[in-house]
Structure 1
Amino acid sequence: MDPPPAKSWSIHTRPEIIQKYQILERVGSGAYSDVYRARRLSDDAVVALKEVHDYQSAFREIEALQILRNSPNIVVLHEYFWREDEDAVLVLEFLRTDLASLIADAKKRNEIAVGELKRWMLQILSGVDSCHRNMIVHRDLKPSNLLIGDDGVLKLADFGQARILMEPGYVGSNENPLNGAESIQPPEATPPTESSYQERHTVQEQEYGTMSKEEEYLRVLDEVKAKDSDKETNVCDGDASCLATCTTSDVDVDDPFKSSYSYEAEEVGDDNRHGCLTSCVGTRWFKCPELLYGSTNYGLEVDLWSLGCIFAELFTLEPLFPGSADIDQLSRIISVLGNLTEEVWPGCAKLPDYRIISFNRVENPIGLEASLRNRSPEEVSLVERLVCYDPSSRATAMELLQDKYFSEEPHPVPVCELHVPLTKTVQDEDSPCGMSSDSDFDDFGPATFTTTSAGFSIQFS
């Protein structure tokens, strides 16, 4: 029997796409996606074509953007193409630059005017609020994933790591929408009430009775390919602005689905059937302590920590916690906020790696006020309400949208008056991927290993 034909990984060979779009240039590339600027032949509109090589990332991005399609600060998904033997191609609105480029541009000018700062922050909060009202946790908020159009409108993008946290009683459809070329239709989604949102409870994704389309598909796929579920690698996606970290090798040629998929670490093994979350998400500089300590029991609050780090960077034009490795990241956080203890976060001792990794006691933490030099007390307070150890104490996007800071002078400038950089600055090459590895210990420095009843403990100097 002849071997199956080789699968084409090139968007240029897809007749259903080139009949509708003229591909102009590749504007981003990474391990799991390529992004192209293209012209829609029907009306000459410029769009972005995102060719995603990872099944789960593509599914999550499509599902999240369908739910958020009417949100003004979320990137627009026009349509998508997905064949059984091909990668997904998402047709997105084209936004020329991003917040990382804006920060780099502002650093050259040594400032962002307060009125402009407030407008950028309000747009970011609006996008995050839209996600959280629909129980979508983005899990990779960072400046390079906040895209900006020529008109000054900022939009959240790159939902490849997003998860939809189901509320009790929500029943997902078993229909699989990911076959063929599809135009986007709004899904039936019931957002949580304001009171349930403000309670900030961690919402676990449900089991069989409330499976999403993705989980049902992955359950079947897991049963077929259980023998491959113990394979796991860590890969950083680079500059495509669509990370898909902690993935395994491709499914073998006997896969009855006749395609090649990558699985996130959370989807392998027995836990796959329960829709468990993973700590191996996000980008290190914006990653909250609970993820750095290995938690898989978290909710929308992980985005709120990232939001605080983004705001701090807007205020100072420098990253708040630029860790070189996950251990170094924790060390930097502790040097500013102080040691993580039960007093500051009741229950933190239950974090998976809390008793494995420890640091010398910090007697005089730097504090956020000292880290945000020359910023107003109101601005420091905004960051303090987000960058705090206890997730339940973090202010929600909804709460911050009502903060008096945005109603006081200087008032937020109109969107049309925002300064938008002319070019996009490549930022992700030096930005660390959100993954853990043994090499983190070597990068950080001397460590003392101690045997304990639970296994071992690592004490960093």
Structure 2
Amino acid sequence: MEHPLPKSWSIHTRPEIVAKYEILERVGSGAYSDVYRARRLSDNLIVALKEVHDYQSAFREIDALQLLQNCPNIVVLHEYFWREDEDAVLVLEFLRTDLAAVISDAKKKEGGVRVGEVKRWMLQILCGLDACHRNMIVHRDLKPGNLLVSDDGVLKLADFGQARILMEPGFDGDNDDQQLPVEQNTGSQANETPLDVVPDAHSLPDQGFNKQVVEDMDREEYLRQLVELKAKRHAMDENDKETNTIDGYSSCLATGTISDIDDDTHRSSYSYNAEEGGHDTNGALTSCVGTRWFRAPELLYGSTDYGLEIDLWSLGCIFSELLTLDPLFPGISDIDQLGRIISVLGNLTEEVWPSCSKLPDYKMISFAKIENPTGLEACLPNRSADEISIVKRLVCYNPANRATAMELLNDKYFNEEPLPLPISELHVPLEDSPGEWNEYDDMGSDSDFGDFGHFKVETTGSGFSMQFS
């Protein structure tokens, strides 16, 4: 169903855009962006025009996609438009559906997603994620709705509005004197060479994945590009510091004092986009990122010192959902989310994750001791030992123990019968329902504690703590 085109929106009055693109319909709308299906006049190519109303989100997405260009499992940024006092408009390839639709469609028929299909979907996700992590890009909002799928079965990571390019430990780009001006590009084509691109899953032999050696970019050039990108973001943060929403608390709700940003499992990050106010001089991250059902426990406990591993936790949740067709931890709030995780994995202690007690909100929230956690095996009935093992290697408390994308690409699971199906044999739903383009209903606020059962609040020297039973 086509959405009526509003006549007063800026995208329709920008001559540099309408001269190159015919805007056909609006396919998604959210607080931070609007997305249109459009036709490129030069060759009739159908594209997505993403008008981003938040400059930080726009810069993050452009920076990440420029570094990841030419990776077959990353959505293509054709060009972008950005002028002073105008929203950025990103011209992206248009992909009609997503992995959320694949899962939803599979629930309607017997058999679910075949093992060979699961393996091929996972190989494509892993190739895209490995390209991100080789470039030190943490996506921060991996979920089925942000994994877009083409009509011929190619899966691509999308919606990099929350992505951040991380610096190596001990290397602080903020100390560099270089400051880049705010970009005001019109139709600027991404032209940077990707630092490291692994072969796409659909280009790999159908009999499994064979590791290919990738030549690393010169380290000096690698660091130079990271410095430039971080300097640019830092300059923008300083210019707009007064208008940022200051993240005065270390997590979305963990302290129980503020309501969570409304989000659900398949809502795209442009409608759930936490401002990263309150940066320190080291460019501290915010814990209020990602969609709750796929959010790593370190984020739920308020960590601002996390790394690429938060994407690996999300990947484990996605893999589990492909296997069972149901979300692994469908929490209705941050507290409920933690409770569900603990009921399955057991209590979070120093024994399972050394230094976990240093998480900002660890001492503020406690749960009754779980004597007999259900375990991930109970969440994955009738699944193979190899499948359960992979989920366990991703969905574990200690981030250092989570398997990397490259490690999983070489796992024997993908080389054993049943083998990954060719991409041409993947089932792609007919309906148009890409989560990255659409807005979904709100799940409600974390401020309602009536759903959480009994809990006790105690005053402490630094505030208060909450214990949930």
CA distance in 1: counterparts of 2:346 and 2:312, whole angstroms: 19
Tell me whether 1:84 sits opposite 2:92 in the alignment: no
Q: Distance in 2 between matches of 1:150 and 1:228?
A: 39
- Give per-residue Cα distances to partners, 1:206-254, cap 9 Å, x unaligned: x9999431112322443xx38985899965478873336465xxxxxxx
Does residue 180 (structure 1) correspond to residue 181 (structure 2)? The answer is no
Corresponding residue number in structure 2 for 1:267: 277
Alignment partners' CA distance in 2, 1:330 and 1:118: 29
Q: Which residue of 1 aligns with 2:134?
A: 133
Runs of 5+ in structure 1 lacking a partner? 1-7, 198-206, 248-263
Measure, in 2, the Cα distance between the counterparts of 1:326 and 1:357: 11
CA shift, 1:183, in A, is: 2.6
Secondary structure (helix, strand or coil) at the match of 2:126 reads helix
Secondary structure of the 2:394 match is: coil
CA contact (8 A) 1:30 1:237 kept: no
What are the ranges of 5 or more consecutive residues in structure 2 without an aligned counterpart? 1-7, 199-212, 217-225, 250-258
1:456 deviates by 1.8
Residues 156/343 of structure 1: CA separation in 2 closer, same or farther (3 Å cut): same
Q: CA 1:426–1:166 in structure 2 vs 1: closer, same or farther (change >3 Å)? A: closer
Match of 2:310 among 296, 302, 306: 302
- Shift, 1:22, TM fit: 0.6
CA positional deviation for 1:13: 1.5
Distance in 1 between residues matched to 2:365 and 2:67, nearest whole Å: 39
SS, match of residue 218 in structure 1: helix
Change (3 A) 1:138 1:362: same
Aligned-residue offset at 1:188: 5.8
* Aligned positions of 1:124-273 closer than 5 A: 124-167=125-168, 174-176=179-181, 178-187=183-192, 190=195, 211-222=230-241, 225=242, 235-236=261-262, 241-243=268-270, 245=272, 247=274, 264=275, 266-268=276-278, 271-273=279-281
Within a 5 Å distance, the mapping from 1:324-343 to structure 2 comes to: 324-343=332-351
Indicate how the Cα distance of structure 1 residues 371 and 430 shifts in structure 2: closer, same or farther if over 3 A, else same: farther
Pairwise CA distance, 1:73: 0.2
Cα deviation, 1:397-442, whole Å, max 9, x if unaligned, reads 0100000000001110111111110013476625759xxx660534
Partner of 1:45: 45
Q: Is the 8 A contact 1:30 1:240 kept in 2?
A: no
Cα distance in 1 between the residues matched to 2:166 and 2:152: 33
Aligned to 1:429: 440
Q: Distance in 1 between matches of 2:433 and 2:227?
A: 44
TM-score (norm 2): 0.83
Q: AA paired with 1:92?
A: L
Aligned-partner Cα distance in 1 for 2:442–2:181: 35
Native 8 Å contact 2:182 2:236 kept in 1: no
Taking a change above 3 Å as real, the CA distance of residues 159 and 227 of structure 1, as seen in their structure-2 partners, is: closer
The alignment's TM-score, normalised by the length of structure 1, stands at: 0.84
Identity %: 65
Q: Which residues in structure 2 correspond to 1:89-104 (within 5 Å)?
A: 89-104=89-104
- Structure 1 residues 112 and 440: CA distance shift in structure 2, 3 A: same
SS of the aligned residue for 1:336 comes to helix
Aligned length: 421
- RMSD over aligned Cα, in angstroms? 2.9
> Do the aligned residues in 2 keep the contact of 1:147 with 1:157 (CA within 8 Å)?
yes
Taking a change above 3 Å as real, the CA distance of residues 457 and 159 of structure 1, as seen in their structure-2 partners, is same
Structure 1 residues 231, 166: closer, same or farther in 2, change over 3 A?
Answer: closer
Per the TM alignment, residue 149 of structure 1 is displaced from its structure 2 partner at its CA by 0.2
